[in-house]
């Protein structure tokens, strides 16, 4: 009884998510891969990059850098889990053309460089350069307010505001 009254408090925090790449905004539903376009991994957005640099979209902590360096997971200070996946079917590149600048456990600020990559290598060896940014834990999200954007600049353009719910 007391737990019902006092133990289920929820905290709501807003996270302003910036674009991790410079380029063109792509609606997640338009990503040419059903894992992302059908939101199987979560909601979010995508960018078709015009340069080979990925920066942190939030202030937080790096929770995973994939061994193939094609993706990085970040947990924002507010608790939002984010996956930045560089290109489509880039895992088959086995890290070739990718240089990571962070490792698991590193604290990052918005705009800090996470990974640099050869855009030309991704164009020639992968299915697409489109880079999905996915909020992987849907149950922690109360609301997503998307911004109206087209041309985006890494670490500068605000893509959306996500309201995160955490139980206390």
DSSP letter string, 86-142: -SBS-GGGTTTTEEE---TT-EE-TT-EEEEE-HHHHHHHSSB--EEEEE--GGGEE
pLDDT 10s digits, 84-110? 999 999 999 999 999 999 999 999 999
Q: Indicate which residue of 12, 70, 85, 101 is catalytic.
A: 85
**Residue 101: active-site member:** no
pLDDT 10s digits, 119-149? 999 999 999 999 999 999 989 999 999 999 9
Report the percent of the chain where pLDDT is more than 70.
93
Q: Are 157 and 149 in contact (CB under 8 A)?
A: yes
> 2-167 belongs to which homologous superfamily?
Glucose Permease (Domain IIA) (2.70.70.10)
């Amino acid at each position: 009884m007391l737990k019902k009254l006092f133990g289920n408090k929820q905290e709501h925090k807003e996270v302003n998510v910036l674009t991790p790449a410079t380029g063109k905004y792509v609606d997640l539903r338009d990503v040419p891969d059903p894992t992302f376009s059908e939101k199987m991994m979560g909601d979010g957005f995508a960018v078709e990059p015009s340069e080979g640099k990925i920066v942190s979209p939030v202030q937080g902590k790096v929770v995973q850098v994939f061994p193939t360096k094609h993706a990085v997971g970040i947990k924002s200070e507010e608790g939002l889990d984010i996956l930045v996946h560089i290109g489509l079917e880039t895992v088959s590149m086995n890290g070739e053309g990718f240089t990571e600048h962070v490792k698991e456990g590193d604290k990052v600020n918005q705009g800090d460089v996470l990974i640099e990559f050869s855009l030309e290598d991704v164009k020639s060896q992968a299915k697409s350069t489109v880079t999905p940014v996915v909020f992987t834990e849907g149950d922690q999200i109360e609301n997503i307010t998307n911004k109206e954007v087209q041309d985006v600049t890494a670490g500068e353009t605000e893509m959306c505001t996500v309201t995160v719910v955490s139980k206390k």
